[in-house]
Amino acid sequence: MSPTPFSTLAARGDSRLDELALALAAELEEADAQGALAELDRLGAEVRPVAGGTPTAQADALAEVLGRRYGFVGDHEDYDHPDNSMLDLVLDRRKGLPILLSVVYVEVARRAGIELSGVGLPGHYVVGHFGQAPPILLDPFAGGATIQAAVTADLRPWSAHQTALRMLNNLLGSYERRADLSRAIRVAEMRLELPLGEAEEATFGAEMRALRARLN
């Protein structure tokens, strides 16, 4: 079964991260959505029985299973490769960009009954357990290590749409650097399918038109 089209999910306010990430991938490759969802289900079932009742215990369980047991970690050797932005491939390879590894953590946690959120930081993306104050932040790129320096009073969970937009921004740069203009244009189009402010819509629209002009 093919995933719901990205444009449909982009227009919905209740879209999940796994749905958006897999629909995004399916626009650009032959994504194995069913296999990815099954793997997330399996990992969630493995985390659930070892997760305790406190935020700290739950965060520790996620880091133990995903970071140490299964070795999900950042791709330091080929960081910018588009494969690191595709959820199905990240699940298969167990490495990727910080934001995709964070999607894995959030969706595995959801399946295990743990409320975890993606958190965008300047130049980085992590996950946060907001069940206590201050929240517990884990860095999936570093194997689930706990980080403290980024905890500030104004730290907020990111929505699925905000996360998808950052994923697309990463991919746009990746495809442009590889002179893959057709995929860069498709990514630019997908950004405009997400809910945007007027300034973002104007900027992204201009960038898309500039990319299309290069194709002609």
| 59, containing H or E segment | helix 55-62
pLDDT value for 52: 85
Is the preceding omega at residue 82 within 30 degrees of 0, hence cis?
A: no
How do residues 180-211 score in pLDDT, each as one tens digit? 999 999 999 999 999 999 999 999 999 999 99
Higher pLDDT, 212 or 151: 212
How do residues 31-55 score in pLDDT, each as one tens digit? 999 999 999 999 999 999 999 889 9
How do residues 122-169 score in pLDDT, each as one tens digit? 889 999 999 998 899 999 999 999 998 666 767 899 999 999 999 999
User: Residues 117-155, buried b or exposed e (16+ Cβ, 10 A)?
Assistant: bbbbbeeebbbbbbeeeebbbbbbbbbbeeeeeeeeeeb
DSSP letter at 134? S
Label residue 3 by pLDDT band (50, 70, 90): low
**Measured between alpha carbons, how far is 115 from 129 in angstroms, rounded to an integer?**
7
| 166 in the same domain as 75 | no
Taking 90 as the threshold, does the pLDDT of residue 18 lie above it? yes
| 167 in the same domain as 156 | no
pLDDT value for 4: 87
Domain that holds residue 70: 6-160
Structural domain includes residue 184: yes
Structural domain includes residue 1: no
**Measured between alpha carbons, how far is 25 from 68 in angstroms, rounded to an integer?**
26
| 110 in the same domain as 154 | yes
Structural domain includes residue 130: yes
Closest among 10, 25, 18, 22 to 162, alpha carbons compared: 10
Closest among 171, 176, 216 to 190, alpha carbons compared: 171
Taking 90 as the threshold, does the pLDDT of residue 103 lie above it? yes
| 131 in the same domain as 28 | yes
Task: Count structural domains, the chain.
Answer: 2
| 61 in the same domain as 155 | yes
Q: How many CA atoms lie within 13 A of 71 on its CB side?
A: 4
Taking 70 as the threshold, does the pLDDT of residue 121 lie above it? yes
| Mean pLDDT in residue range 57-83 | 97
pLDDT value for 1: 45
Last residue in a domain, options 160, 184, 204: 160
Confidence (pTM)? 0.96
pLDDT above 90 coverage of the chain, percent: 90
How many other β-carbons are positioned within 10 Å of the β-carbon of residue 199?
Answer: 8
| 28 in the same domain as 11 | yes
